[in-house]
Structure 1
Amino acid sequence: MKNIAIIMGGYSSEYKISLISGNLVHQYLDKTKYNGYCIHIFKEKWVYVDDSETEFPIDKNDFSVTVDGTKINFDCVFNAIHGTPGEDGLMQAYLELLEIPQTSCDYYQAALTFNKRDTLSVLKPYGIKSAVSYYLNKGDKIYTDEIVKKVGLPCFVKPNKAGSSFGISKVKTEAELPIAIEVAYQEDNEIIIESFLDGTEVSVGVINYKGVITVLPITEIVSENDFFDYEAKYLGKSQEITPARISDEMTEKVGAIAKRAYELLKMKGFSRSEFIIVNDEPFMLEMNTVPGMTNESLLPQQALAAGISLEDLFANAIELALVK
């Protein structure tokens, strides 16, 4: 039996969703092969939480835990942390130094894809299109007329490094820009302002499944709100249609782009890329490397549509990490 640490929580606004993801992974872990341990990672404490909610501190020197006098080391870490430090490369680098296999991509890929601006810049020379954008760093002077001239209205103001749609605003008038910028700065000190793409939004899961890079059935997102925000993602204010209502040609095209991005960035483990299709052209928004694993989340829905059970999906991730 392999000891698997399922890390969850994290230091960002996404910690609640991460705890749900981590607990779902624990629930569907094959108990005949793996001993699953729920590890909560917070700024103030790293602890193993057992079934009775008792907490045991993690020894950060070797990422082990001592329970009733017995020291437990982990064969593999299943990463279910959305946001920092699980999705931005910090945990990946720490675990690599300790030589503990983990299920997500390597630290450089995590750091790169966590930065929307840099991801799109790296992929652009390969013909992967993205929205017209304008960048701000905290402290920069804000010229609203300049922003509107470049990206047009309506536009989206987003934290550059945050997930689950925290800090994102859809801006319809120039006067709303400073307020939206302040909201985004609450999540991050870098901001990306993007032109509004009026088209079909799709989400494409790409995973390494049994050693083969596999594009999962594509999900179309129809939000009741102005965009696919937190409410739409987690509180049922959207329709998520898998497979997406797009032509076979477009399914092929957007799937090929998502797969190419996965390969170009030398990804491992799970990825979920978001696109908006405008006039038969897919524009990439971002790539998530630790996508949600809740029952509402897109990647588990896509895996089930592909005939891959959650037990199988999670075991596959662990087995591939152990092979490395």
Structure 2
Amino acid sequence: MRVLLIAGGWSDERAVSLSGARGIADALGALGHETVWFDPAGRLTELADAARDADFAFLNLHGAPGEDGLIQAMLDRVGCPYQGSGPAGSFLALHKAAAKALFENAGLRTPAWEFLTAPPPLEWEPAVGYPLYVKPNLGGSSVGMGRAEDRARLEATMTVAFRHGHEVLVEEALSGEEVTVSVLGGEALPPILIRPKRCDFFDYASKYEQGGAEELCPAPIPDELTAETGRMALEAHRVLGLEGYSRSDFLVVDGVPYLLEVNTLPGMTPTSLLPQSAAAAGMDFPALVARLIELGMQDRG
């Protein structure tokens, strides 16, 4: 097949996107596909024509465009199949406040939170209390995220977060262990236990710098916890209307998992979390890429 490999874009996660795409290109070549690179940055108006000439589009974008559903909507309009979720599910997952509202409506545990659409007045105090995390509402890879122990630190972290967008999520800072569970083709893959080495949460450096975190897969956690996080990941996937695959991140507090967020275009370097889980399930990286293409063709072929 002629595969349009879409990577890069203009979000803060551009470099991560391009890095992962190189491994995907190698896998596509090993599978016998022809790869055509496409970077939406500066070429968005050419996407429709490029997609019409392709048999399939493989997206490796992080943040917007990509996780916001824009590229998927354009591909839908020209009838080019692609892996993963469509425009609506992609945007709901990227919009942290909307996703958490749907999680709560479905009875899925998630840390207490508040949604801010503008910097609050100096006298404002969060109802969730301290300590807390401040996150840009749109985006991923923990870009712009910070922890606040008091009002002064909160002001500083909100200033940083608002530089990355007009919406910010303030979230209760629970203390526990981080676990991530990937969903592939309607099944939960083996979970991964994440232990950051450089700070108290899985920030950008922990995710992408060598030695930033210890990632144990399959996670050495009780069978009951594996089953519960798997159930919650599958339910979150369903609640958001996702397709093909996703990755749900959890914080486990005294054995109880809290759902943090769901990623619709998880990292795809060969050592990223989703490929690690797939490997634990007996699927090497080219086989994972092949499975994602198969699922995308089933959904949109």
What's the TM-score, normalizing by structure 2? 0.94
In structure 1, distance between residues paired with 2:48 and 2:177? 48
Contact 1:101 1:321 in 2 (8 A): yes
- Are 1:63 and 2:47 an aligned pair? no
Higher RCO (CA < 8 A, seq sep 6+): 2
Q: Post-superposition shift, 1:206?
A: 0.6
In structure 1, distance between residues paired with 2:23 and 2:106? 37
Q: Post-superposition shift, 1:33?
A: 3.7
Contact 1:170 1:226 in 2 (8 A): no
Q: Post-superposition shift, 1:243?
A: 1.2
Match of 1:234 among 192, 208, 211: 208
Unaligned stretches of 5+ residues in structure 1 = 47-57, 65-71
1:166-185 residue pairs with structure 2 within 5 A? Answer: 166-185=143-162
- Are 1:295 and 2:270 an aligned pair? yes
Helix, strand or coil at the partner of 1:243: coil
In structure 2, distance between residues paired with 1:153 and 1:181? 14
Contact 1:22 1:38 in 2 (8 A): no
Contact 1:159 1:187 in 2 (8 A): yes
In structure 2, distance between residues paired with 1:198 and 1:113? 24
Which structure has the larger Rg?
A: 1
In structure 2, distance between residues paired with 1:17 and 1:35? 23
Helix, strand or coil at the partner of 1:189: coil
Q: Post-superposition shift, 1:284?
A: 0.7
In structure 1, distance between residues paired with 2:30 and 2:221? 39
More helix by share: 2
Q: Report what 1:17 is aligned to.
A: 16
- Are 1:130 and 2:128 an aligned pair? no
Q: Deviation per CA, 1:38-60, whole angstroms, max 9, x where unpaired?
A: 21221x235xxxxxxxxxxx734
Contact 1:30 1:315 in 2 (8 A): no
In structure 2, distance between residues paired with 1:237 and 1:226? 11
1:155-234 residue pairs with structure 2 within 5 A? Answer: 155-208=132-185, 213-224=186-197, 225-234=199-208
- Are 1:306 and 2:296 an aligned pair? no
Q: Post-superposition shift, 1:153?
A: 1.6
Helix, strand or coil at the partner of 2:274: helix
Contact 1:11 1:85 in 2 (8 A): yes
Amino acid at match of 2:149: K
Q: Deviation per CA, 1:244-285, whole angstroms, max 9, x where unpaired?
A: 121011111111111111123221122111011112221111
Contact 2:40 2:47 in 1 (8 A): no
Q: Report what 1:51 is aligned to.
A: none
Q: Report what 1:45 is aligned to.
A: 43
What's the TM-score, normalizing by structure 1? 0.88
In structure 1, distance between residues paired with 2:64 and 2:266? 13
- In the comparison of the two structures, how many residue pairs are matched? 297
Amino acid at match of 1:10: G
Unaligned stretches of 5+ residues in structure 2 = none
Q: Post-superposition shift, 1:188?
A: 1.4
Amino acid at match of 1:123: F
